[in-house]
Structure formats: C-alpha cells, structure tokens
Amino acid sequence: MRKSFTKITSGLAVAAALVSMTALAEEEGVMNGDPANGKKIFTEGKGAAPACMTCHGATGWGMEAMGAPRLNNLGFPYIVKQLTDLAEGRRTPSGAGAVMPLFAQQLTPQDRRDVSAYVNSLPLDPKDLSDMQAIKDGGQPIGTRYKGEILVKFGVSGKVSACMSCHGYNGRGAAPVFPVIGEQKYTYLVNQLHNWRDESRTNDPYGMMRAIAKKLSDEDILDAATYLATAPRTTEGNTRVPNTTR
C-alpha cells in the first residue's frame, strides 16, 4: 500500500511539474518576436556579438567542428529560454560555446525573441546533418546506431526511460517544453549529455536531464547521439514528414 501511495504521489508531483513547466514556457515563449529584426541579428550580429550564422551556419543547422548546435526549428520557447539563461548567467558553456553568455548579453529581451522567431521560421531542409562516417574517419568515437535507437524509443528497463517519452518520436520535440533533439548535431548532443551528467550544465527545469544523464554510460551517450543525429522524422508505416514548424 505504501509503495502504491508513493508511486501515486510521485506521479502527481511529476505531472504538476510538467504543468508548471508548460505554463512557464507558454508565458515566456509566446510567439511575439519580429523575424525581420531576428534575421538582421542572425546575419549581421549586434554590438560585440557577431552574426549568429558565423558559428551556426547560414541555415541554422550548426557546425560539427565547432560543436555549435542546430538552431533551426528547435522550438521558439526553448531558444528564448536558452538565450535568456545565457545572458543571465544560468548557463555557462565551456569550449567554443564559452563566448555565448557575452553574446547573449548584447541582446535585449525583445532581440532574443526576434532571433528565436527567425531561426524558428527557417526552412526545415536538413542538408547539413552530421556526417557520421566523416566524424568516425576524423578519429572521434561514435556509437552503435541500433543500440541508440533502442534507447531513444524504448529506454532501458530499470535504468532510464525512453528519450521519446519527453522529446517525442525520434526526438522531434514536444513544444512548448521539450526541444527538438532529433537531427541535432552529433558532437553537440554528446557534449550536452556529458554536461548534464557531470552537472556543468544545470539549467534544465526540475533537474530532469541531470537525473536522466547520470544513469547513462559513455557508451549509452555515444549510442543515443549516433541515432538522434540522423533520426528520420517519419514514423513506421507513415512516410509523410510531419509539419514541425514551431
């Protein structure tokens, strides 16, 4: 009886947290940005911040060599939140991303919404997916794709839940709370999962990603990232690519 009660109260707590997260995301992420101004910042920069496309590419699909993530169609509320967290010190990346807090501080709250609106309006044409063979040939370790697919779709019993439980089928995202992780850059996925695991990144709502990542081995991280980096946006039995504009 006590175990059942504990499960029920735990489930209610998670449900309440998700409702709270959704409300917050909707409040902060109302699509009220100006894509025209966002395009100007993305292509020309502002103040000490260079053009976003310098590192994230002209189409917002990121750059593998720099570890720069895809921004294209990740979800408006998510991009707004990340830029705000960077500007206000809640997210402090390492490596090439260490410059992002300074860059984000050059943007007003409205600028952040504008940039987010622009990258969320870019054509969803994945011509720049991670080249897994090139990554492997370059000496960077990659995982086993089928193992990653199992982890993404089903999780591991008694260890970790499926990625799609929150991020949707093949990581296509579940707006307004959970971002797209499918077709994200491989190097970025690996880096962020490590950052969640060692808690060098801590801006996840309610510590959800940190709790998940702590249960992942190095092999799990490589496997999941390998699958997600090129995960198809279609589902079994349905070859129609969904409208994922957010």
Least confident range of 48-62, 166-180, 216-230 = 166-180
Q: At what angle do helices 76-87 and 2-28 cross, to 10 degrees?
A: 80
The predicted structure's pLDDT at residue 237:
62
Band (127; pLDDT cuts 50, 70, 90): confident
Binding-site positions: 52, 55-56, 100, 163, 166-167, 209
**Which of 3.40.190.10, 3.40.50.300, 1.10.1040.10, 1.10.760.10 is the CATH number of 132-229?**
1.10.760.10
| pTM across the whole model | 0.85
Binding residue numbers for heme c: 52, 55-56, 100, 163, 166-167, 209
All structural domains of the chain with their residue ranges: 1-30, 35-119, 132-229
* 35-119 and 132-229 agree in CATH topology: yes
CATH homologous superfamily of 35-119: Cytochrome c-like domain (1.10.760.10)
HSE, CB side, 13 Å, CA atoms: give it for residue 69.
Answer: 21
